[in-house]
Amino acid sequence: MYTASLQSLVDELGRLPGIGPKSAQRLAFHILKIAPEDATRLAEAIVAVKENTTLCPRCFNVAEGGLCTICNDPRRDGAVICVVEDPRDIGAVEKTQEFRGRYHVLHGSLNPIEGVGPDQLRVRELLDRLEPEGVTEIILCTNPNLEGEATAMYLARLLKPLEVVVTRIASGLPVGGDLEYADELTLGRALEGRRPVDA
């Protein structure tokens, strides 16, 4: 129905999450219409993000070689670490403007059915940060769903014998949801209302 290059663009766009065949078509025709330099900028941005993006060696947030912007910021409080599942969750917490500490990105949550255990997550790396960074509080900010809660409980038990206060964001977030879908007011309140975990 289309030319080979147009069809290939529709196919590639259609492989993106949340993009159905109709949207893929619409986007492809949009790209076809825009100025060549705009299309080039889009293509170059995709290539650049793949070439330049690394993980922060301290917190495993996205970075561009070396520490991420948050770890590099001297105004951030190194004594408090907010543990999240995904780098996108950092954006959600930052929007609340309630948190001035640092982060730790697990890159997933415990999910025995899909074979994700503690070794597949950045758990060991979290423990290794406690002493050198003088961490006094760990806020477990995993998603308010089954896997996120299981991950929080696992970490709370693991951290219990160590000299650190472990807190969990307050309930009140939409259960079963993802942090990134919570509005900043709700998430801000959940952070503020965090409580020590009894593990």
Interaction site with Zn ion (CB under 5 A): 56, 58-59, 61, 68, 71
Least CB distance from residue 93 to Zn ion, whole Å?
13
Q: Which is nearer to Zn ion, 14 or 78 (CB)?
A: 78
Please state the closest distance from residue 55 (CB atom) to Zn ion, in A.
8
Cα radius of gyration (the chain):
20
Residue 24 or 71 having the CB closest to Zn ion? 71
Residues 83, 102: Cα–Cα separation, whole Å: 9
| Residue 183: closest CA among 85, 98, 92, 83 | 92
Least gap, CB of 164 to Zn ion (angstroms)? 19
Q: Exposed/middle/buried for 107, CB within 10 Å: 0-12, 13-18, 19+?
A: middle
Helix, strand, coil % in the chain, rounded to nearest 5: 45, 15, 40
Residue placing its CB nearer to Zn ion in the complex, 28 or 59? 59
Nearer to Zn ion, 60 or 154 (CB): 60
Q: Cβ 78 to Zn ion, closest distance in Å?
A: 11
Q: Which two tokens stand for residue 103?
A: 């982060």
